[in-house]
Amino acid sequence: MPGLANAHDHARTFRNTAFGAFDRPLEGWLFYLGVVPGVDPYLGAATALARSAQRGVGRVMVHYTRAQGLTDPVTEAMAVARAAHDVGTPVGFAVALRDRQPIAYAESLQVLAQLPVAIRASVASRLAGPPASPATQMALADEIATACAGDGFNVQYGPTGVQWCSDELLGLVAAASAHNSRQVHMHLLETRYQREWADYSYPGGIVAHLKAIGLLSPRLTLAHCTYARADELEMIAEAGAVIAVNTSSNLGLRS
């Protein structure tokens, strides 16, 4: 029997249970990832990939949304590529891209205004720092691809989700992917709160919006889509895009 394929993972060194996140909604624990200490990126990736290999997984799609942060992004990605090679696991590596709404599904100033005055500055400093520009992030993703892409390590664009990415950033991803044929991996409609946000922010339909900006294509994989509607699923299928259904994660997040 060939090795199984994990079509959506994050290659985290520590399981969510390590910080009490199991069986809790995503929005209730996501920020705890910020207090997980960084480790050597090679050891972290090797640990996660070897753990998967022990359970019969032969290929892993890694949406690398939480960098260890102990070195520059290119060097870290190279360490992950080396770990994948040494473990013997082919990896798709999506470089995380995001540039908005770092605290909640709303603009940061709106969220901060709802918090007690005593903690606003602390929350802002930890979670709401200015992001790199969309162009800078795209250039970094391309630099990582140049440095790391090769046999068994497929570098992709990894916008984290529409709620975390501006239309400008998603438009650049769509244009770059159309130009260089690089694949795109992105979360979509993972939780009911994301569904509510999408309906409020894109009354014409969030999937229709992705189609309008050119992101829907055979190069796109959408993770979860737990709360996608029938017409949205049809639109995704017609575009030739792929959905990675992560049932165990959905159950663990009560989605």
Which pair of structure tokens corresponds to residue 29?
A: 């624990």
Cα distance between residue 92 and residue 73, in whole Å: 16
Average pLDDT for the chain: 94
Cα distance between residue 148 and residue 131, in whole Å: 24
Least confident of 115-129, 156-170, 200-214: 115-129
The dihedrals phi and psi of 102, each to the nearest 5 degrees, come to: -75, -15
Cβ 82 vs Cβ 42: under 8 Å: yes
Task: Read off the pLDDT band of 1 (50, 70, 90).
Answer: confident
Judged against a pLDDT cut of 90, whether residue 28 lies above it is answered with no
Q: Which residue segments constitute the domains of the chain, with CATH numbers given?
A: 4-252 (3.20.20.140)
Judged against a pLDDT cut of 90, whether residue 231 lies above it is answered with yes
Question: Which pLDDT score is estimated for 252?
Answer: 63
User: Which position has the higher pLDDT, 177 or 35?
Assistant: 177
Residue type (1 letter), 97: L
Q: Of the candidates 30, 63, 73, which has an alpha carbon nearest to the alpha carbon of residue 159?
A: 63
**Token pair 């800078």 in the structure block, residue:** 136
Dump pLDDT digits (tens) for 56-115.
999 999 999 999 999 999 999 999 999 999 999 999 999 999 999 999 999 999 999 999
pTM of the model: 0.94
Which pair of structure tokens corresponds to residue 67?
A: 């960098």
Judged against a pLDDT cut of 90, whether residue 227 lies above it is answered with yes
Rg (CA), the chain: 18
Question: Which pLDDT score is estimated for 228?
Answer: 97
Residue type (1 letter), 9: D
3-class SS letters over 157-221: EEECEHHHCCHHHHHHHHHHHHHHCCCEEEEECCCHHHHHHHHHHCCCCHHHHHHHCCCCCCCEE
Cα distance between residue 243 and residue 245, in whole Å: 6
Residue type (1 letter), 237: A
- Mean pLDDT for 19-33 is 76
User: Which position has the higher pLDDT, 133 or 20?
Assistant: 133
The dihedrals phi and psi of 52, each to the nearest 5 degrees, come to: -65, -40
Dump pLDDT digits (tens) for 142-198.
999 999 989 999 999 999 999 999 999 999 999 999 999 999 999 999 999 999 999
